[in-house]
Amino acid sequence: MKNWKMATLAAAFCLSMVSSAWAEPNAKPCADDVANFCKGVQPGQGRLAQCLKQHSNELSPACKENIQIKKEKFQDFVQACKADEEKLCSDIKPGQGRIIRCLKKHESELSSECKEKMEQPRSRQ
């Protein structure tokens, strides 16, 4: 059960991070790819990330690299927050961002490692 919850958390967070790979003003490596492959896709709920995934073999090298960096950051997040998720959000049904919202709700109780990783996706590096 715990592995399933973390996998669901991982998928949800990864979709949001991949979406941010093109959406952030300072992260434009995927903007052309979105325009080329996903112009009719309504943003939200991971739809653009799913579109990019469907065209992964056709993406520009810069976009692929940016997505890979986001995935690596996400893996760091999962490692840093796994214990906090199990401790603070074990009763939360995974999906639709519920576990991430739970972690944010318990921000004052999070380990310093998890807090740091929760803030990283919002930063523009």
pLDDT in tens, 21-56: 444 434 588 999 999 999 999 988 888 889 999 999
Residues of the chain with pLDDT under 70: 1-27, 121-125
Query: Which residue, among 24, 46, 23, 25, has the nearest Cα to 34 in the 3D structure?
Result: 23
∠ CA 49-34-19, rounded to 5° = 30
Looking at the 3D structure of the chain, how many domains does it have?
1
| Residue 96, pLDDT score | 80
Q: Could you tell me the residue range of the domain that residue 37 belongs to?
A: 2-122
